[in-house]
Every structure is written in C-alpha cells, then in structure tokens.
Structure 1
Amino acid sequence: MSKGFMYLMLILGSILMLLPFIWMVSTSLKPSDEVMTMPPVWIPSEFRWDNYMTAFQKAPFARYLFNSIVVTVLSTIGELLTTILAAYAFSKLAFWGRDIVFSVLMATMMIPGEVLLIPNFVTLSNLGWIDRFEALIVPWTASIFSIFLLRQFFMSIPDELGYAARIDGCSNWNFLWRIMVPLAKPAIVTIVLLKIIGSWNAFLWPLVVTNSEEMRTLPVGLTAFTTEAGTNYELLMAASAMIILPMIILFIILQKYIIQGVARAGIKG
C-alpha cells in the first residue's frame, strides 16, 4: 500500500469522524428556522452566538456543572487508588489464588452493564443513597479494565528492581508509591483521562439514581431542552458543545500519554 493512499484513507476517515462535531457546532449557531430545513444547511445564514447564552440560562447549568465536577473528581480519585493497589497486588505480590482471582475479575468484563443496573439500584436504594452523591460516586470507584491496563504496565517493570529496593530496606508500600507509580505515569494518566471522560459523559446511571434537579449532572441536564412541544435543537447543540469542549481540550493535551500507556501495557500479557 502506497504512503499517499494511506494518507488519503486517514484523511477521509478523519473527516467522517469530525462530521458529527461539525454538524453540532453548525446547528448550535443556527436560527431556529434553519435547524430542520431540507436540504440541510451547513453554514448558517446568521451566526446566533446568543444561543450559547440562552442555553446556559435555560437550565441551572451552574449546579449541573458543580455536580459533574464533584462526581468526576471523586470517582476518579477513588478509581485511581483502587486501581493502583489492585494492579500492584496482581502483578508483584505472590499469594495463593492470585491468577484465579484475576481471571474471575476479567470474566466480569463480559457482563453487560445494563444487566447490573437493577441489582445496583436496589442495593443503593436499601442503603438510602438514591438522589445522593454516594450513588453517583461509590459504584464507579473501581474498574476491572483499569486494573488490567495498569497490571500489564507493572508487569513490564523488571522484578529485579523490586529485589534491589527491598535489599535497601524499602517496603512494598514505599516501593509502590516511590518507584512503581512514577514509572507507570503514562498508564496512570491514560486511566485518569479515560475515567474523567467516562464520568463526565455518563448519562444512564445518573438519570436512574437521581430524582431532583439539584442532583443532575450535565448530560442529564440536556433533557431540559426537550419538552412536550418538541426539542430546541439549536439550544441542545449549544449546550452539548459546551459540555464536550473541556474533554476535547483535555484529550488534546494528554493524548501522548494515552499512546505511551497503551503501547507499554501491551509489552507483557
């Protein structure tokens, strides 16, 4: 395959991937009478920048933003702690049944999340956590995929490094946080970024476990633009663009760590 043809395919693929985002931004700037016209209008006749201000004022987005930040930050910190500890145990500590337990955990990844929706809801309801931050945060403080990714990265670090550290009097705890974690920075940044994106964009679970407007997150808050009279698509797209923009910026800044983390994690497996 020639290099020119490969670049052409990559360019075409990139355009196809960007089309939904281009359409979202275009629709967010349209007057309401141009949103559903046929054939579709890609460039608005009048750029309505005030759609963004109207969308922000139509719903309590300041509260939604606060809730999303709290849920994203706390669930990311929780998952990071559980992932680091579990990945270290499954990669560097020898104990009976280690591989069996890890295989069982990996098998749970084949269970669709929708199957667990009702059991998890019933559990949280019995705990009295519905419509509270605990329901939005606690169930998502552990991830088997993140544990698997970081474990593979830890396994690529030579065991001799740990032997040398223990000879110098370093405990397992200090070896983990002073040596293993700094070396695994690309994988950890990848896990953090994927977790932030997942928590920020979560819709189904926050919709199920929240009842009041005060506990809604940003994706759930988008339903404010859908009424019995129809959907205000220009405002919906404007709000969606505001929600997606922070994740795009974060991804652009940290994308090199994702590539490094995924590539390194595949060295041992």
Structure 2
Amino acid sequence: MALLTLDRPAKTFTPPADFRPDRRTPGQVIARVALYVGLSVASAAILLPFVWMVISSLKTNNQVFTVPIQWIPDPVVWSNYVDIWATSNMTTWIRNTLILSVGVTFLQVFTGSFAAYGFSKMRFPGRDVLFLAYVGTIAVPWQAYMIPQYIILSRAGLSNTLWSILVLQAFGAFGVFLMKQYYDSIPEELSEAARIDGLSEYSIWRRIVVPLSGPALATLVLLTFVNTWNDYLGPLIYLRDRDLWTIQIGLNSFASQYNTEHALIMTGSVISVLPIAIIFLAGQRYFVQGIATAGLKG
C-alpha cells in the first residue's frame, strides 16, 4: 500500500510586536557589576563593627584595643561568655527585657491591627480627619509630653513597675498607619460578602482580614520588638529598682562599673544584639514583603 504524504509548510514563530530580546550593552553590564560591587562594599562596612564586636568578645582585655587590630583572637577566650553571667545580673536583665518586648509587641499588634481595620474598612463621620490627627502624633517628639505622662503614671501607682512601660507603649500610631495601608490593598468585596453572610465586624477582622495580612503583621512585630528591646530612655525613667532593669540599662551600668573589662563589655553587647539578629533573619522575607506591599491598593 502506498503512503500518501502531503508536504506542509513548516510553521515559523513570529514574535509579538512588543517583544524585546534581553540584550544588555557593555555599558549596562559594567553599571550592573559596579552596583553589585558598591552594595557589597557597603554591606561589609555596615557589618564590620558587628564582626569586630564579636571577635573582641573572644579576646582578653589587653587585646581588645590593640593597634593594629588583631582580627584572630589568640588565645580564644570562650570563658567570657560564662564570666558575664557570673559578674552581672544578665539573667534578670534579659528576663525583664523579654517580658516588655513580647508584651509591648503583642499589645501594639493587637491594638494597631484592630484600629487599622476600623479606619480602613468601616465608614463613619470624621474618619479621615481622625486618622490624620492620630497619625500626626508620630511627628510629636516624646520629650514634649514625657513629664505629663510620667506624672499621670506616677499618680496611678504604675511608676517603678513593668506595667508602666506596657501601658506607655500599648498603642502606637505607626502600627495603625502601617496596617491600614496594607488593609487598603485587600479587596472590599471580601468584607461585603462576609457582611452579607452575617459576620460581625469583629469576625471579619479576625477570620478574613488578619489571616491575609501576614507580611504586614510580621513587619510590625519585627519593628516593635526591636524598638522595645533597644529602648533605653523609657526604662531609665520608670524602672528604678535593679530587679526591674532591662538589658540596655544593665549593660550601661556594667560598663560604668567595670570600665576596664573591655572583653566582658563586648560579650554583653553581643548577647544583647543576638536575639534581634535572629528574629530579623527569621522574618526578613516577610519584612521585605510587608514593606513592599504596604502602600499598594487592590
């Protein structure tokens, strides 16, 4: 049986009219390489003090400020990380700082996200004016109302207690602003459909809006935790007993009392920075995503 074959013209690929091949000129390649080199140098310059601090924490006191800098400790004094706990009250400082950081972070995330939902998804007279007035408080420095605030908390019997810091920082205008910007990017149709199904505003916030706001929540958690952990002036004013000191006050007192123990001071500084570095590295992806999408609207 003879096979009948038909000659069909070969199909050719026709690129679309807006197709542009990814061809970089030598000048663009050089600019890209120069950009990466510049970013690498800037990153190294930023990390250099931290690297020096970590290395100095493993030296003896006489080797910390040697000229030229001794980048490799000889010998490596691992005992500094044991001596700092015996010499100082590091356990109490870290405990108090963790209580304040976790408590303030929880309160600001809860109050900030809840208030942001009202400003973003609910309609009421004067909403925009009230939001602008509330966000405008960010521009007012804390030193302007620090004394009246201290008087109020003292008369309420909260001075010299951890509750003073928790009450003081339970609300934050920045968190409301950040969460509202993210909530504005969530389609309004989701909230309208939930209202038709009979959900209350609280249920819409808890069951729909909050689960969709992971990056913004992670950003707010990271920023609030870092700011509270590094806070020095607030605990210095309100926490007078040594048993209530945070790690920032404790390290400052330790540096004043043992000003010749340079290696131990560096060791304490490394311990104070380590939790923040771990939290930032763990939430870096969500932090970048939250910052990148906080200003978008769906």
- After TM superposition, the score normalised by the length of structure 1 is 0.95
Shift of 1:201: 1.6
Match of 1:94 among 106, 123, 127: 123
Contact 2:102 2:225 in 1 (8 A): yes
Contact 2:232 2:248 in 1 (8 A): yes
Tell me which structure has the larger Cα radius of gyration. Answer: 2
For 1:250-269, what aligned pairs fall within 5 Å after superposition?
250-268=279-297
Counterpart residue type for residue 135 of structure 1? S
Secondary structure in structure 2 of the residue aligned to 1:170 = coil
Query: Which residue of structure 1 lines up, in the alignment, with residue 209 of structure 2?
Result: 180
State how far apart, in whole Å, the 1-side matches of 2:101 and 2:133 are.
28
Q: Give identity over the alignment, percent.
A: 36
Query: Which residue of structure 2 lines up, in the alignment, with residue 4 of structure 1?
Result: 33
Query: Which residue of structure 2 lines up, in the alignment, with residue 130 of structure 1?
Result: 159
Q: Answer yes or no: is 1:21 the counterpart of 2:50.
A: yes
Query: Which residue of structure 2 lines up, in the alignment, with residue 61 of structure 1?
Result: 90
Of stretches 135-144 and 219-228 in structure 1, the one that deviates more from structure 2 is 219-228
State how far apart, in whole Å, the 2-side matches of 1:184 and 1:208 are.
35
Deviations 1:146-177 (A, max 9, x none): 11010000011111111111111111111110
Of stretches 58-67 and 150-159 in structure 1, the one that deviates more from structure 2 is 58-67
State how far apart, in whole Å, the 2-side matches of 1:77 and 1:7 are.
38
For 1:158-237, what aligned pairs fall within 5 Å after superposition?
158-227=187-256, 230-237=259-266
Match of 1:149 among 171, 178, 199: 178
Structure with bigger helix share is 1
Q: Answer yes or no: is 1:104 the counterpart of 2:144.
A: no
- After TM superposition, the score normalised by the length of structure 2 is 0.86
Deviations 1:224-258 (A, max 9, x none): 42236734221111011112112111111111111
Q: Structure 1 residues 231 and 155, CA, compared in 2 at 3 Å: closer, same or farther? A: farther
Secondary structure in structure 1 of the residue aligned to 2:102 = helix
Counterpart residue type for residue 129 of structure 1? L
User: Which structure 2 segments of 5+ residues have no match?
Assistant: 1-27
State how far apart, in whole Å, the 1-side matches of 2:220 and 2:55 are.
32
Secondary structure in structure 1 of the residue aligned to 2:67 = coil
Shift of 1:42: 2.8
Moved over 4 A (4+): none
User: Which structure 1 segments of 5+ residues have no match?
Assistant: none
| Matched pairs, number | 269
- Aligned CA-pair RMSD: 1.6
Shift of 1:223: 2.1
